[in-house]
C-alpha cells in the first residue's frame, strides 16, 4: 500500500509530507526545493529574512523544485509579517503557512491573490475559526514540536479534536520522526504530516555543521523548554547559552532591531538564532523537536534520501 497524496487547494503533493519551515535561515530555498522535487511540500522559513532575500530564496526553491509545491512559513508575531506575505505573493508562492499568533485578515489577502493560506494551530477552536475564515488546510501542532509552542498538549490528544472540528485537510505536526509516527498520525485522521527536525540533518539544510552536530549528539535529557521574548515557550537543545536562559541569567539585548510586534526584551531571540545558525551554538539557541534523540540514522544526507526512508518505513508497515 502506498501513501496517499496530500491535496491543498489546487496543489497536490504525491507524498503527504510537509517540511516544516525553520527560521532563522535554517530552511531556505535549497532545502524547500529539494523536498518539493522529491514529492513533498518544501517550506522556506521566512521569519528574519529581508524582502529581497526572501524573493531570492523563493526563486532558488522554484528552480530546484522541478514543478513541486513550495511555501513559506511566517510568524504572525513578526513585525514585517505583512511585508513578507506580500513579497511571497508577488513571487507567486504556492502556499503560505503562518503560526506564532493568528490573523483573520490574512485569509482575505490570500483569497484576493489566489494564494492558499494554511494556519498552524494547536486547538480545535482555532481550527474551526480558520475554517470559517477561509483556510485551505490546517496544520495542527502539538507540544512535541520544536521552536515556539502554542500548547502543552500532545498532538495525539489535539489531532482527533481538530479532525472532528473541520472538513479541511488536516496536517499533523510535532515530534514526528519515523514512518511509524506517520502511520500513527494517518490513523488518527490526518491527511498528512509536517516534519521539521528530521530535515536539519539534510545536506540542503542551511544550518552550520556545529548546529547539525548538536542534533546528532543530543540525548533525551538535552531537550528543554525555554522562555522566549516572543511571548511563547520554545523547545531547544541545551547549550551554554540555553543553560543561562534556564537559570534566568540570559544577556539583555544590546540595541534592538524591532523585529517583533511585541518583545519582552528578556534577551534577543533573533541574534541567538542567527549565532547558532552560523555555528556559534554555545552563544545561541538551537531549536529542536522533542524526539530528535529518537532518530536512528543521524547521518547528514540528501533530503530526498530522508523522504525515501520515511516512505519505505510507512509502506513496510502498511503492508
pLDDT at position 21, please?
95
Distance of alpha carbon 268 from alpha carbon 288, whole angstroms: 18
Distance of alpha carbon 56 from alpha carbon 135, whole angstroms: 27
What is the pLDDT tens value at each position of the chain, 319 positions in all?
Answer: 678 999 999 999 999 999 999 999 999 999 999 999 999 999 999 998 999 999 999 999 999 999 999 999 998 888 899 999 999 999 999 999 998 888 899 999 999 999 999 999 999 999 999 999 999 999 999 999 999 888 999 999 999 999 999 999 999 999 999 999 999 999 999 999 999 999 999 999 999 999 999 999 999 999 999 998 888 899 999 999 999 999 998 888 877 777 777 878 888 899 999 999 999 999 999 999 999 999 999 999 999 999 999 999 999 998 8
DSSP state of 101: S
Residue 68 phi, psi dihedral angles, 5° rounding: -75, 175
Which residues lie below 8 Å from residue 155, measured CB to CB, with a gap of 6+? 140, 141, 142, 143, 144, 145, 172, 173, 174, 175, 176, 185
Residue 286: give the domain boundaries.
209-292
Look at strands 95-99 and 69-75 and give their pairing: parallel
Tell me whether residue 238 is in a domain.
yes
Q: Are 84 and 202 in a shared domain?
A: yes
Closest by alpha carbon to 97, among 58, 69, 64, 137? 137
pLDDT at position 1, please?
61
pLDDT at position 148, please?
87
Distance of alpha carbon 165 from alpha carbon 129, whole angstroms: 10
pLDDT at position 54, please?
97
Q: Are 222 and 269 in a shared domain?
A: yes
Q: Are 70 and 53 in a shared domain?
A: yes
Q: Are 88 and 132 in a shared domain?
A: yes
Q: Are 120 and 169 in a shared domain?
A: yes
pTM of the predicted model as reported, rounded to 2 decimal places: 0.94
Q: Are 243 and 301 in a shared domain?
A: no
**From start to end of the chain, where are the E strands?**
6-8, 11-13, 17-19, 41-45, 69-75, 95-99, 117-121, 138-141, 147-148, 170-173, 192-195, 223-227, 233-237, 286-287
Q: Are 131 and 17 in a shared domain?
A: yes
Tell me whether residue 57 is in a domain.
yes
Tell me whether residue 1 is in a domain.
no
CATH, residue 63: 3.20.20.70
Q: Are 88 and 170 in a shared domain?
A: yes
| C-alpha dihedral (228, 230, 234, 240), degrees to nearest 10 | -30
pLDDT at position 166, please?
97
Q: Are 121 and 200 in a shared domain?
A: yes
pLDDT at position 31, please?
98
Tell me whether residue 282 is in a domain.
yes
Please count the structural domains in the chain: 2
For 251-313, give the DSSP string.
PPPSS----BSS---SS-HHHHHHHHHHT-GGGS-EE--TTGGG-S----B-HHHHHHHHHHH
Q: Are 18 and 37 in a shared domain?
A: yes
Tell me whether residue 221 is in a domain.
yes
Q: Are 71 and 164 in a shared domain?
A: yes
Tell me whether residue 275 is in a domain.
yes
Q: Are 30 and 148 in a shared domain?
A: yes
Amino acid at each position: 500500500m502506498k501513501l496517499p497524496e496530500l491535496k491543498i487547494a489546487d496543489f497536490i503533493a504525491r507524498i503527504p509530507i510537509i517540511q516544516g519551515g525553520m527560521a532563522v535561515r535554517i530552511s531556505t530555498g535549497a532545502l524547500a526545493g529539494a523536498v518539493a522535487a522529491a514529492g513533498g511540500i518544501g517550506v522556506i522559513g521566512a521569519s528574519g529574512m529581508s524582502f529581497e532575500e526572501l524573493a531570492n530564496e523563493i526563486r532558488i526553491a522554484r528552480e530546484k523544485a522541478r514543478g513541486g509545491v513550495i511555501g513559506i512559513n511566517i510568524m504572525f508575531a513578526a513585525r514585517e509579517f505583512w511585508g513578507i506575505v506580500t513579497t511571497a505573493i508577488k513571487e507567486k508562492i504556492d502556499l503560505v503557512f503562518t503560526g506564532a499568533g493568528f490573523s483573520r485578515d490574512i485569509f482575505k489577502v490570500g483569497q484576493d491573490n489566489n494564494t492558499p493560506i494554511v494556519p498552524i494551530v494547536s486547538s480545535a477552536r482555532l481550527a474551526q475559526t480558520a475554517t470559517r475564515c477561509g483556510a485551505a488546510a490546517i496544520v495542527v501542532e502539538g507540544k512535541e514540536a520544536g521552536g515556539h509552542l502554542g500548547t502543552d498538549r500532545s498532538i495525539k490528544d489535539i489531532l482527533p479534536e481538530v479532525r472532528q472540528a473541520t472538513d479541511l485537510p488536516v496536517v499533523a505536526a510535532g515530534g514526528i520522526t519515523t514512518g511509524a509516527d506517520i502511520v500513527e498520525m494517518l490513523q488518527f485522521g490526518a491527511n498528512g504530516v509536517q516534519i521539521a527536525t528530521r530535515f536539519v540533518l539534510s545536506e540542503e539544510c542551511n544550518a552550520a555543521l556545529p548546529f547539525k552536530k548538536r542534533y546528532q549528539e543530543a540525548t533525551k535529557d538535552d531537550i528543554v523548554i525555554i522562555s522566549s521574548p516572543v511571548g511563547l515557550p520554545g523547545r531547544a537543545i541545551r547549550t551554554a547559552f540555553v543553560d543561562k536562559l534556564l537559570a534566568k541569567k540570559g544577556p539583555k539585548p544590546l540595541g534592538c532591531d524591532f523585529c517583533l510586534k511585541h518583545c519582552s526584551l528578556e534577551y534577543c531571540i533573533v541574534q541567538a538564532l542567527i549565532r547558532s545558525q552560523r555555528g556559534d551554538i554555545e552563544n545561541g539557541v538551537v531549536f529542536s523537536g522533542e524526539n530528535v534523540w529518537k532518530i536512528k540514522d543521524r547521518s547528514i544526507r540528501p533530503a530526498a534520501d530522508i523522504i525515501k526512508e520515511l516512505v519505505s518505513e510507512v509502506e513496510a508497515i502498511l503492508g
